[in-house]
A = this chain, B = another copy of it.
Amino acid sequence: MIIVMASRKPEDVAYVVTRVEELGLKPHVLEGVEKTVIAVIGDERILQGVLALEALPHVEKVMPVLKPYKLASREVKKEDTVIQAGKVRIGPKSFCVMAGPCAVESREQILQTAEFVKKCGAHILRGGAYKPRTSPYSFQGMELEGLRLLKEASEKYDLPIVTEAMTVEQVPVVADYADIIQIGARNMQNYGLLRAVGKLNKPILLKRGMMSTINEWLMSAEYIIAEGNPNVIMCERGIRTFETETRNTLDIQAVPVVKKHSHLPVVVDPSHASGRWDLVIPMSKAAIAAGADGIIVEVHPNPAEALSDGAQSLKLETFEQLMNEIKPLVGIMNRTL
């Protein structure tokens, strides 16, 4: 930690030095040409009150040196984490495709989609039973019945399931049915929920909040791992910016950045990033080329009748085209589909 002093008076510097020592850290005073700086040695991460020193009179700013996450970092674990969902492996060497409708809407819809995506080579079936919706007047999901239909499709077509839990109360029932539990973008900093899924021994797909920095996203992974569940899959799904042509801006740089800082696998959700089905194929290819471990895409037998997210869902035949077009790319990146 580096403390930049606003004042250079010996008594002001001495006061800050004392406060640093009281926190159990070692201060080191450096007199620059224009500023005095106090370098602080010790584990700033686990000590309360370190950043609060910015409130001290005569302190201009406090700049942390260490990253605030530990268990999620490459410094603690060098090799890539591989996550197992049923027989499917998410991590280096393979490339995982998760596909299915935004929401489960009927038995026919989910079975038809599952059969088709399996045939095309998808590995995991996605589908929402509990749906977070901006409007209270929108379709909110089939709930338990949705989970049962997902399970039926999963067993019939041998596809593990990823589906979202929105509240702490939903966690046990979702955990009963799902192979991977999704934490949605709006819940990325719902700490009660992070703790609840941290107590499970199941893979968690942690979507990045649309307003969250990579640092905060890794801190949310840290919450889950700190509770005992190391099986976190990071999912980049676009961030909010000033651009309005697309629903969100896909932060494709996040893929190599997370992989540099962390050992966790990273998948990309091109459907939510763009909000437009016509960008899903090029963005899936970009994700592969950037080094992602997988994609999660929305597929619907009839997007224009979808009860949610129709505009960003692929038709069945477009999903087939996607699978055909990405195959050679996945190979070049030394992965198998």
Spell out A's residues near B (CB within 8 Å): 2, 4, 19, 28, 30-35, 37, 39, 41-43, 45-46, 48-49, 51-56, 63, 65-66, 68-69, 75, 132-139, 166-169, 186-187, 189-193, 209-216, 219, 222-223, 226, 239-246, 249-257, 260, 273-274, 277-279, 282-283, 285-291, 303-313, 328-329, 332
Contacts and interface: CB of A to CB of B under 8 A. Distances in A.
Given A186-B189, A213-B242, A249-B251, 20 more contacts: A2-B65, A33-B43, A34-B66, A34-B75, A49-B307, A53-B304, A136-B219, A167-B168, A213-B244, A214-B243, A240-B242, A241-B251, A243-B251, A245-B257, A250-B251, A252-B283, A253-B273, A256-B278, A286-B286, A289-B290
18 contacts: A2-B37, A46-B137, A49-B310, A51-B310, A53-B310, A134-B216, A134-B219, A166-B191, A167-B192, A186-B190, A213-B245, A242-B242, A243-B251, A256-B278, A256-B279, A256-B282, A328-B332, A329-B329
Nearest to A137: B46
Contacts of A285: 289-290
A42 B191 CA distance: 41
A169 B30 CA distance: 48
Contacts of A251: 241, 243, 249-250
A55 B311 contact: yes
A211 to B, nearest CB: 3
A95 to B, nearest CB: 13
Contacts of A311: 51-52, 54-55
A303 B52 contact: yes
Contact of A239 (B65, B243, B274, B279): B243
Contacts of A19: 304
Contacts of A255: 282
Contacts of A52: 303-311
A242 B134 contact: no
B214 A211 contact: no
Nearest to A35: B65
Contacts of A242: 211, 213, 239-242
Among A46, A65, A241, max chain B CB count under 10 A is at A65
Contacts of A32: 41-42, 65
A34 B67 CA distance: 11
A250 B286 CA distance: 12
Contacts of A139: 48
Contacts of A246: 253, 257
A188 to B, nearest CB: 8
A260 to B, nearest CB: 7
A54 B304 CA distance: 7
A54 B222 contact: no
Contact of A252 (B31, B68, B250): B250
Nearest to A285: B289
